[in-house]
Structures are given as structure tokens and as C-alpha cells.
Amino acid sequence: MKKENLRPIFWEKEGLKLLDQRQIPGKKEWFTAKNSEDAIFAIKEMVVRGAPAIAITGLFGAVLEFKKFSKKPDYQEFQTILSNILGSRPTAVNLRRAFEELSSIFPKEEYDNVSLSELQQKSEKFAIHVFEEDIRNNLELAKNGVGLFPSSPSKLKIITHCNTGALATAGHGTALGVIRSLKDAGHDLTVYADETRPYLQGARLTAWELMEEGIENYLITDSMAGWLMSSQKIDAVIVGVDRVAANGDSANKIGTYPLAVLAKHHGIPFYIAATEKSFDFKITDGSQIPIEMRTQDEVTRLNFLKNEKGEAILSEGVIAPVGVKALNPSFDVTPANLIKAFITEKGIIPPDKIKEFFG
């Protein structure tokens, strides 16, 4: 596959076309969302995932809902549509920020003067703007990330977690976007991708993207990172993020926190790649970030998928006793003191300086 085809989201006349990430790497299939219910399903069941891609999907889901109306919904119904989509994934801040910006386009005191066509056209224009902005920001972020490494081509070994590439965004990616740009700058890369249990985004998605890009990579189980850091010269750990609190505490896919602890112990710089949309100055620290708890089946089985009715369509690979209880927090919080810096479209920012850039 050519690099330009690594794009998971297309806005078309038929609806919002999403690369179904549940099916990768086995096959490449597309899911078309034709209304807000489809968009909510796609977000909740991880047809689409990654904070930027979730926000974009949510926005277009709202646009699809508005396009169904022959009469403009009242303001309460307008807000209900947004809140229903917002409830699909609570941890990532991008979706909430996107809907706050959308609401600001249609303030309550002016809403009665807005026509249905204006609601439809302006919301669609805003969703397209967010989509295009995400690609631009990812490219600028990646350019800044490349500057952290030697300017001349070098051999680099990098560990990453979960999936933060084109599949998690509108295109190019955040942490994986930095890696992609390092390759384009001529560096000889070896990337170690954590499998990211239990949903295996690293195994299914990141390894797939790296192979498509021709970047040498090794898949490791989440428990192998300590051995790898102690036995190999690792140049950096680069991950993405779903929400950053005002003090720099950062929520990302479960398994990120212990990776940061290990990196600190071994003197390896731990970077978080994130656009401004991921910073939430409404909360003071990581204890205020809601952590999504997902189904136990993701832990006790492999390849667990659901259809639009919530019914199991694939449930293979039982790996635990029947009836065992399982915990499945989808995210953990990495304290700011374990983070070397944030790689952003505005520059490289130490945790104690983020308010100066974005506050």
C-alpha cells in the first residue's frame, strides 16, 4: 500500500466512511456511518479509535444527524444529539473540545435565528476544518519531533505503545507520525511496538502500519519492555495521549504508565506526542481524568467483536476460566514527573511549561 492510502476516514455523499480497525490486519473493510447512531457504535466498539479520529467521527456523526432533519431541531434536541455522541468515549478530551467549539458556533441566545440549512452547512464546514487541521498539526508536530534527534542520519531504536499513526488520526499520526517523519529524514529505524493488551492495537495496527511503511519493527508483549531497555540501547520512548491535565499528568492507553516508570529507571527519554486539542486545562491533575472501563470479554477472550445490536459476532480464543472476573480499565495516567517533554505542533514543551504555550 502506498503511503497516501494510509487514511482511515473519508467524508462522502453516502456518509462517513471508516476503515474498520477491528478487522485489521486480517482484512481491509470499510464501515459507513449514515447517522449518529452508527457513529456512536463505531466509536464505542472501536471501529475507529484514537482521540483525534474519535473527535472527527463524532463531529461528522452530528452532521449526519442534522442532515436527517426536515425541520430544525430545537436547542435542547441539538444539545442532546451532541451529548449522546460525547458519552461514547469519556476519557479522550478531543471529542469534548470539538463539541464545545461546535456549540460556540451556535450559541443558545442566537440559535432561534439559525436556519436548518445553516446548521447543516456550518456544522459540516467545521467538521471538515477539524479534519484538515488535524493533518496539518500532525505534520508540524512530527517535524518538531524529528528535531529531538541527530540531524544527520543515525541508527535509532524507539519503543512505542498502542497505535498513534494514520489510523488514530485524520492522517500521518502523532507518535507514529514522528517515527514516519524520522524515516523520511533518512534515519535507520528499529521500532519496538508493545502489543497493547487487551485490545492489541499495537499488534494489530501499529505493526501493520510500520510494515506498510517499510520500517523495521519488532512486536513485543507489554511485559517485555523492561528486558528490552536493560539489554538494548533504546534512544527514546514515544507515545500518544488521550488527555493531558493542567499539571502535565497524562492519560493514555493502559500500559503507558509502567512503560514510563521503566524508561525513567533506565534513563531513557519518555516523550508524549500530542496536539493542542489533547490538553485540558479545566482539570488540575490526572486524578480528575475519567477512566473508561470496558467489557471483561476483551481480557478473557481474543478477537471479541460485536455487531450494531451489541451481539457477539466473533468470540474466539478463550484464555481464562469461564466465569472469572476481569478488570479492564482502558487507560492509565502517567505522572508529569515521568515525562521528558511533549512533542506538539507548537514545539517541544516540558511538562512544567505547557500553560505558557497553551494555557
| Residue 51 known to bind ligand | yes
Catalytic annotation, pick one of 242, 280, 297, 332: 242
Q: Is residue 242 annotated as part of the catalytic site, yes or no?
A: yes
| Residue 120 known to bind ligand | no
Backbone dihedral angles phi then psi of residue 325, each to the nearest 5 degrees: -85, 145
Q: Which residues contact 227 (CB under 8 A, 6 or more apart)?
A: none
* Residue 131: half-sphere exposure toward Cβ, Cα within 13 Å: 17
| Residue 253 known to bind ligand | yes
Residue in the structure block whose three cell numbers are 524508561: 263
Amino acid letter, 342: F
Q: Which residues contact 320 (CB under 8 A, 6 or more apart)?
A: 299, 300, 301, 326
- Is the torsion defined by CA of 93, 90, 50, 84 positive or negative? negative
Cell matching residue 88: 461514547
Q: Which residues contact 52 (CB under 8 A, 6 or more apart)?
A: 94, 134, 138, 168, 169, 170, 174, 275, 277
Determine the Cα–Cα distance for residues 225 and 143; give it in Å rounded to an integer. Answer: 27
Distances (CA, A) of 70 to 14, 106, 108, 119: 18, 18, 21, 12
| Residue 252 known to bind ligand | yes
Cell matching residue 37: 447512531
H or E element that contains 354:
helix 354-358
Bridge-based pairing of strands 236-239 and 312-318 is unpaired
The alpha carbon of 56 is separated from its chain's Cα centroid by a whole number of angstroms, namely 11
| Residue 136 known to bind ligand | no
| Residue 79 known to bind ligand | no
| Residue 201 known to bind ligand | yes
Q: Residue 196: which region, alpha, beta or left (left: phi > 0; alpha: psi -120 to 50)? A: left
The alpha carbon of 240 is separated from its chain's Cα centroid by a whole number of angstroms, namely 7
Nearest to 251 by CA among 288, 221, 222: 288
Binding site for substrate: residue ranges? 49-51, 89, 201, 252-253
Q: Which residues are annotated as a binding site?
A: 49-51, 89, 201, 252-253
Active-site residues: which are they? Answer: 242
